[in-house]
Amino acid sequence: METILAVAEAKDGNVRKISYEVLTAARSMSSGGQIVAILLGSDSHEHADSLGEYGAKTVYLVNTQNEVGDTSVLFAEALQQLIEQIRPNAILMPHTALGKDVAPRVAARHGLGLVSDVIDIQIVDGEVVFTRPIYAGKAFEKRKMTSGLPFATIRPNNIRPERTTHTEVNKVDLKVHRKDLRTVVKEVVRKTTSTVDLTEAKVVVSGGRGVKSSEGFKLLQELADLLGGAVGASRGACDAEYCDYSLQIGQTGKVITPDLYIAAGISGAIQHVAGMSNSKVIIAINKDPEAPIFQIADYGIVGDLFEVIPMLTEELKQTLTI
């Protein structure tokens, strides 16, 4: 029977939404086979049942409760052990910071090809075809494995997670051999400005140099909180020290695909566009009518963001309280 291994992630006590997207993608590849999941992260026992709602029959648990922080080396070792144990026909995992670290390690150790940053999966003439963006999102390429098992990482917010009829999940603790580990996490320092993960947010409000100061980003945060979204930034805003680099979106920052992207005071340099051009709906606010951001925006507002954002926020407050 065909077996597809889906990698899931638990972070800060919750299963990341991309995990359910990976399981949905695995089901689209499966033709009557079984979906086996491995859940990486602390306190993973609590969340194994939710993976069953998206198709996982068996969930292998890798806990790091006794660790200072989750280590990619430990998780790579766990994934390698499981691959050798169950011999899957395909492997899918999230294209997250952890996935981008772990996937190449595992692929190299097993001599596998790896298709990264996949946004769509189709079965054509019995073969799995992966679609991924190239040239900063200006073009797309389709790839398939000519030999070896398919191994791919899935970009968040591109495959809509779909539940199945809930079935009982078989939970298995995976004991990881730690003798080969060469690194130990001594401390984890987190910089967070929002409870919503930027890479998984459905709504992102971003600011550029036009925001002018860190105080200006408070306006964006208020709007983002109102919409249940996250705040992002261009590199220019980060370089100007208006905000932390953890908010940077673009070619050298995070790549996101929210349902709604609001760009305030962002000119639209190609490096920034590479990180958000695949957003479902883009709204640009800029006082320069010739700003390049308007060329890719679905809706554009020519005006001062310090006038537009407060007006938009106030209007939404009234609408949402009705």
* Residues tagged in the binding site annotation: 209, 234-235, 248-252, 265-272, 286
Beta-ladder partners of 15:
10
Binding residues for FAD are 209, 234-235, 248-252, 265-272, 286
Query: What whole-number distance in Å separates Cα of residue 236 and Cα of residue 204?
Result: 17
Q: Return the amino acid letter for 164.
A: T
Query: What whole-number distance in Å separates Cα of residue 216 and Cα of residue 242?
Result: 8
Torsion, CA 61, CA 67, CA 68, CA 70, rounded to 10: -30
Residues 6+ apart with CB under 8 A from 38: 5, 6, 7, 8, 59, 60, 61, 62, 78, 79, 82, 174
13 conformational bin, left if phi > 0, alpha if psi -120 to 50, beta if neither: left
> What distances in angstroms separate CA 28 from CA 13, 65, 162, 171, one per listed residue?
28, 33, 11, 23
Tokens 């208006």 identify what position? 242
Nearest to 159 by CA among 60, 294, 247, 28: 28
Percentages (nearest 5) of helix, strand, coil residues in the chain? 30, 25, 40
